[in-house]
Amino acid sequence: MIGGCGTEKRGTVGHGVGARAAEVGGIGACGPEACGTEKRVTEGRGSNGRGPDAGGSEGQLTRRAALGAIVATTALAATSRLALAAEGARGITGLKPMTSGAKPITPAERSARIAKLQALMQQQKIAALLVDTGSTLDYFTGVRWHLSERVTAAVIPASGKTVIVTPFFEQPTIHEMLQIPAEIRTWQEDENPFELIAGVLNDHATPGGPLAVDGTARYYVLDAVTKALKSQRQVVPGHELVRACRMFKSPAELALLQIANDVTLAALRYVHAHLELGMRTADVSDLMDQATLALGAEPEFSMALLNEASAFPHGSKAVQTIRNGSVILMDCGCVVHGYQSDISRTWVFGKPTVRQREVWNTVKRGQEIVLETAITGVPTGSIDEAVRVFYESKGWGKNYALPGLSHRTGHGIGLDGHEDPYLVRSDMTPLQAGMCFSDEPGIYIPGEFGIRLEDCWHMTEHGPKLFTPLARSIDDPI
């Protein structure tokens, strides 16, 4: 999957069950807060941290009610789709669960992550790291929480015990999820959570120095905490601290990524064998969801692009159906104990044309060049550049021009479908063992078709290692 903020893969194009935020802890959904902070800023959140709920114009309340309705509808749609897919999965024969041996990340490994982070903070004389709700909170603490205007966050000091700040009524659920030694400090509905966070940071037990803030923290959280600190601590970016931990996957993480990729490849194999003339995009995606559930994993996204829509990397809103000669591009992933897969396959329903076969073979060669270029120490961006040089030598568009490769060659993957580092030529991160990536150098021809092949791999001391074998040919794509 090649997307940016990661929301399009769950939208009308992708047709995936995904929308994990709607299901986490059985509470809430990924609402308007998920991909931006504009609403929070323009609504004039007060210093008490309660925003429009604390008072405001009728227009603000109406807007909030409308947004709440959208969130509720999204959550209901995701839940309904998952229920329908689960019902369909029960009718699938010949597939058995593949995830029974999957082992979740242990509390001991999470504690080791905290220790590594604290060592980095001590080296850099950072007092603490503030982690907002999201995958990094899960990574360090095991708390997999939903985005909400009610703040749940972690303050991880350079030494000592982590502190979780959360609403009082959420404490029992947070306690159940928490997998590291930590103190839970709660705030009531009429209290200011940011003052509570500042209180943790001003506690005598917290080391001196600046506060680092994780790069995924929402702006209104950063702004409110900064104000609550009253200039007593400098606030600095914490992205590099987190990146230094999450970029390198442990054997336990690699094992979960392997199982997730095995499931997705098996589901794609099932779908490939069961497509029929006249099936719509949504039918193909639903079948992929059902197969993934039957194999014991949680569908994250099941994007099916048919015909001319395959030239749109993330699809078209136009309804497409399978016909003789259809190009079928599928980009799919699942989740196993939080870790994601991401595999793309493209084939033709019927007999491929000479041009389709030629483009498919070119993309396959692009994938091979990625692996051949992956040498310890090289900038990850040089891998992207090597593919582009090859494509341009074959007459495809220069740089990101179409027809050609209009997106980066790959992205990091782990708890997030897209995470550091990236296979894009501006990324100068030295390639090192433990890093994981997608390998997806597609070619897109507007008005005709697109070909994308994608497999994930991880770097070892001896070179790159694929989680799944590359597709053999356009006639044998799985």
Give tens-digit pLDDT for 234-287.
999 999 999 999 999 999 999 999 999 999 999 999 999 999 999 999 999 999
Same domain, 239 and 262: no
Confidence of residue 80 (pLDDT cuts 50, 70, 90): low
Residue that is last in its domain, among 31, 56, 89 = 89
Average pLDDT value for residue range 183-191 = 97
- pLDDT tens profile 326-366: 999 999 999 999 999 999 999 999 999 999 999 999 999 99
Mean pLDDT of 298-304: 97
Domain boundary among 27, 61, 89: 89
Average pLDDT (430-456) is 98
pLDDT of 176 higher than 80: yes
Is the same domain home to 332 and 430? Answer: yes
Distance CA 471, CA 139 (A): 32
Nearest-5° Cα angle at 145, 71 to 89: 70
- Contact of 284 with 271, CB cutoff 8 Å: yes
The encoded tokens of residue 259 equal 């199982």
Q: Does residue 232 register a pLDDT over 80?
A: yes
| Mean pLDDT on 56-74 | 39
Residue 215 or 30, more confident: 215
Give the pLDDT of residue 16.
40
Closest CA to 274 of 254, 252, 291, 259: 291
Mean per-residue pLDDT for 412-417? 98
**Rounded CA gap, 271 and 329, in Å?**
12
> CA 249, 255, 256, 257 torsion: positive or negative?
positive
Q: What is the mean pLDDT of residues 300-305?
A: 97
Q: Which of 52-66, 102-116, 183-197 has the lowest mean pLDDT?
A: 52-66
Q: What values do phi and psi take at 445, rounded to 5?
A: -120, 100
Distance between CA atoms of 303 and 347, rounded to whole angstroms?
14
Say what percent of the chain tops pLDDT 90: 77
Domain-embedded: residue 393: yes
User: What tokens does 236 get?
Assistant: 């600095």
Number of domains in the chain: 3
Q: Could you tell me which residue, 29 or 469, shows the higher pLDDT?
A: 469
Helix (H, G, I), strand (E, B) or coil at 113: helix
Residue 292 · residue 320 · CB < 8 Å: no
pLDDT tens sequence across 35-52: 333 333 222 333 333 333
Task: Give the domain range for residue 340.
Answer: 251-466
Query: 326 and 189, same structural domain?
Result: no
Q: Which residue has the higher pLDDT, 134 or 63?
A: 134
Q: Give the residue from 60, 89, 118 where a domain finishes.
A: 89
Say whether both 278 and 242 belong to one domain.
no
- Domain co-membership, 314 together with 427: yes
Does residue 285 share a domain with residue 234?
A: no
Q: At residue 41, what is the residue type?
A: V
What percent of the chain lies above the pLDDT cut of 70?
81
Same domain, 195 and 268: no
B/e letters for 300-332, b = 16+ CB within 10 Å, e = fewer, are: bbbbbbbbbbbbbbbbbeeebebeeebbbbbbb
If you average pLDDT over every residue of the chain, what do you get? 86
Residues 113 and 232 in one domain: yes
| pLDDT for 438 | 98
Asked if 162 and 189 count as a contact pair (C-beta separation under 8 A), the reply is: no
What value does the mean pLDDT take over residues 421-436?
98
Q: Are residues 305 and 234 in the same domain?
A: no
pLDDT interval class at 25 (50, 70, 90) = very low
CATH code for the domain in which residue 196 is found: 3.40.350.10
Give the confidence band of 91 by pLDDT, cuts at 50, 70, 90.
confident
CA-to-CA distance for 271 and 334, rounded, in angstroms?
Answer: 15
